[in-house]
């Protein structure tokens, strides 16, 4: 991705804004414990507009009836900071790199904010961002209101994230390309896990095999906490403990994926630890797989996301009836939400700079959005039968299966970006045998 991409996004955001001032801040470093921090992860909205990965910086966009202005506030380079942490861009290098109208020292922001807000009526901010810089801005807006002689003053705080996240919903070609790179590394990692899985290993050992692929391949980091869930652990949806043993005759559910240049992938595969599905495992696996394939087949521009959710639940309900887990009429079972006990989560979510991309799911009128080419979402049906659940046949107890792929909506349908990852029973058993 290059500066032209980021410049174009800032320009589009200014187009979407009414007159006013917008402030988008960098992420605040997160403390891990005492004086150690988590690895820094930039605020996705800020990154989307700048491609800038430094903390303590912010972007100001100004729009009046006849002009626009973009200002990037950054930290000046500092010798002591550079000694411990490496050099920052500093003001001069940032000026060279970014096609903004001005680059200024972040230290000057508190003094300059009042001038920046003078004469404007709208202040666009992330209403949930409690960074210091925004507190300054809100305070300045309040002070200006009380200042005599100012003809205009901030009258409304507006949510900037809604505009940015609406833009993030349809991915540009360079974003899709980056997601493809993340998916490619993730595909290698899932295949390694299938090849290396052995009875008696610990779940964290498969996690380590995958982490090696991510880091060795230049992946930034995991896109979310890796789930390696052997046997009944798969029925804990956000199982991240990964310290149990992998046992003979059980499945392992792996929901793991990497991030590349801050873009996520999000993939789940479930496979037999010893390399061969049992009859009962194969029945449940194929039931989930059929749902997943049929849902993916239904994705094309114009289809509404809420329809897809209902459709997927109908298919899961049918699967549960076919497996003999539920009995009765599908509509009545759906009405009573009986299927939710065995499949409690949604069919998928937007994916991009965040694994759960916080883009809108409904339009301005509150109606479910229809798919458009360039949207990326996961499709991840699952069936979960807890080991102590006596409402299901004994042979199914302890089986938890989810199959998750990353889907790009195209002009005439969709493309499964993770189609290269072994998924049918035959493909998985073949990969496990290598
Ligand atoms: N890995 C998180 C999710 O599937 O939504
Ligand atoms: Mn997901
Ligand atoms: Mn996932």
pLDDT at 129: 83
- Rounded Cα distance between 218 and 203, Å, is 23
pLDDT surpassing 70 at residue 147: no
pTM above 0.85, yes or no: yes
pLDDT at 137: 81
Q: Is 239 in the pocket of ligand 1 (CB under 6 A)?
A: no
User: Which residue is closest in CA terms to ligand 1's atom 4?
Assistant: 266
What's the pLDDT band for 138 if we cut at 50, 70, 90?
A: confident
- pLDDT digit string, tens, across residues 159-210: 999 999 999 999 999 999 999 999 999 999 999 999 999 999 999 999 999 9
Indicate which atom in ligand 1 lies nearest the CA of residue 223: 1
Question: To which residue do tokens 């891990």 refer?
Answer: 32
- pLDDT digit string, tens, across residues 226-279: 999 999 999 999 999 999 999 999 999 999 999 999 999 999 999 999 999 999
pLDDT surpassing 90 at residue 146: no
Q: Is 224 in the pocket of ligand 1 (CB under 6 A)?
A: yes
Nearest residue to 310 via CA among 300, 295, 296, 290? 295
Query: Which residues, other chains included, contact 70 with Cβ-Cβ below 8 Å and sequence gap of 6+?
Result: 10, 14, 59, 60, 61, 62, 100, 101, 102
Torsion 362-363-365-367 (CA) sign: negative
What's the pLDDT band for 127 if we cut at 50, 70, 90?
A: confident
- Rounded Cα distance between 208 and 193, Å, is 9
- Cα 161 to ligand 1 centroid, rounded to whole Å: 22
Indicate which atom in ligand 1 lies nearest the CA of residue 268: 4
pLDDT surpassing 70 at residue 150: no
- Rounded Cα distance between 341 and 333, Å, is 11
- pLDDT digit string, tens, across residues 400-416: 999 999 999 999 999 99
Query: Which residues, other chains included, contact 46 with Cβ-Cβ below 8 Å and sequence gap of 6+?
Result: 24, 25, 26, 27, 52, 57, 58, 59
Query: Which residues, other chains included, contact 357 with Cβ-Cβ below 8 Å and sequence gap of 6+?
Result: 165, 168, 169, 264, 349, 350, 351, 376
pLDDT surpassing 80 at residue 156: yes
pLDDT surpassing 80 at residue 145: no
- Rounded Cα distance between 162 and 159, Å, is 6
Indicate which atom in ligand 1 lies nearest the CA of residue 404: 4
User: Which residue is closest in CA terms to ligand 1's atom 5?
Assistant: 356
pLDDT at 148: 60
Query: Which whole number is the average pLDDT over 31-55?
Result: 96
Domains of the chain: 3-168 (3.40.350.10), 173-432 (3.90.230.10)
The H-or-E segment that residue 292 falls in is helix 279-297
- Cα 27 to ligand 2 centroid, rounded to whole Å: 23
- Cα 158 to ligand 2 centroid, rounded to whole Å: 30
- Rounded Cα distance between 123 and 403, Å, is 44
pLDDT at 188: 98
- Rounded Cα distance between 345 and 209, Å, is 28
């Amino acid at each position: 991705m290059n500066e032209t991409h980021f410049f174009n996004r800032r320009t589009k955001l200014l187009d979407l804004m009414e007159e006013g001032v917008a402030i988008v801040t960098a992420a605040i470093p997160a403390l891990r414990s005492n004086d150690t921090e988590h690895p820094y992860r930039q605020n996705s909205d800020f990154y989307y507009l700048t491609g800038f990965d430094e903390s303590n910086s912010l972007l100001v966009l100004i729009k009046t009836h006849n002009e626009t202005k973009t200002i990037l506030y950054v930290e000046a380079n500092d010798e002591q900071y550079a000694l411990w942490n490496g050099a920052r861009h500093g003001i001069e290098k940032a000026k060279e790199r970014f096609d903004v109208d001005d680059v200024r020292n972040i230290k000057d922001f508190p003094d300059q904010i009042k001038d920046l807000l003078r004469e404007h009526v709208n202040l666009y901010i992330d209403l949930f961002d409690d960074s210091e810089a925004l507190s300054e801005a809100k305070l300045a807006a309040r002070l200006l209101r009380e200042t005599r002689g100012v003809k205009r003053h901030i009258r409304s705080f507006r949510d900037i994230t809604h505009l940015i996240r609406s833009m993030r919903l349809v991915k540009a070609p360079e974003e899709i390309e980056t997601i493809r790179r993340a998916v490619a590394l993730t595909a290698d990692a899932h295949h390694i896990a299938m090849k290396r899985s052995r009875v008696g290993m610990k779940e964290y050992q498969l996690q380590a095999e995958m982490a090696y692929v991510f880091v060795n391949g230049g992946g930034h980091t995991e896109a979310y906490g890796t789930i390696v869930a052997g046997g009944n652990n798969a029925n804990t949806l956000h199982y991240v403990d990964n310290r149990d043993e992998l046992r003979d005759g059980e499945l392992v559910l792996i929901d793991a994926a990497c991030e590349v240049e801050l873009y996520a992938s999000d993939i789940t595969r479930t496979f037999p630890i010893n390399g061969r599905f049992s009859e009962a495992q194969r029945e449940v696996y194929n039931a989930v797989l059929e749902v997943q394939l049929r849902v993916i087949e239904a994705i094309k521009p114009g289809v509404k996301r809420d329809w897809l959710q209902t459709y997927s639940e109908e298919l899961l309900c049918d699967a549960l009836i076919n497996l003999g887990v539920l009995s009765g009429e599908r509509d009545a079972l759906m009405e009573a939400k009986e299927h939710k006990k065995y499949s409690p989560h949604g069919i998928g979510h937007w994916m991009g700079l965040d694994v759960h991309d916080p883009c809108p799911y409904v339009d301005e009128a509150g109606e479910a959005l229809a798919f458009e080419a360039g949207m990326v979402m996961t499709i991840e049906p699952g069936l979960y039968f807890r080991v102590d659940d006596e409402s299901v046949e004994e042979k199914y107890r302890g089986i938890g299966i989810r199959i998750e792929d990353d889907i790009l909506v195209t002009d005439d349908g969709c493309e499964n970006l993770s189609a290269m990852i072994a998924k049918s029973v035959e493909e998985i058993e073949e990969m496990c045998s290598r």
